Amino acid sequence: MTYKLEFTLVVILKYPSLFIYEGWKKDGL
């Protein structure tokens, strides 16, 4: 659980644009 949380944090820090893009998809833009 802790490992997965750290992995997610690293991904968010390395690829912030990916999560912003995902957010746009959820908003339907």
pLDDT tens per residue, range 1-29: 688 989 888 888 888 887 777 777 777 65
One DSSP character per residue, 1-29 reads: -HHHHHHHHHHHHH-HHHHHHHHHHHHT-
**pTM (whole model) above 0.85:** no
Per-residue confidence (pLDDT) for residue 28, from 0 to 100: 63
Nearby residues of 12 by Cβ (< 8 Å), 6 or more positions away: 19
12 touches 19 (CB < 8 A): yes
Q: How far is CA 7 from the centre of its chain?
A: 10
Per-residue confidence (pLDDT) for residue 29, from 0 to 100: 54
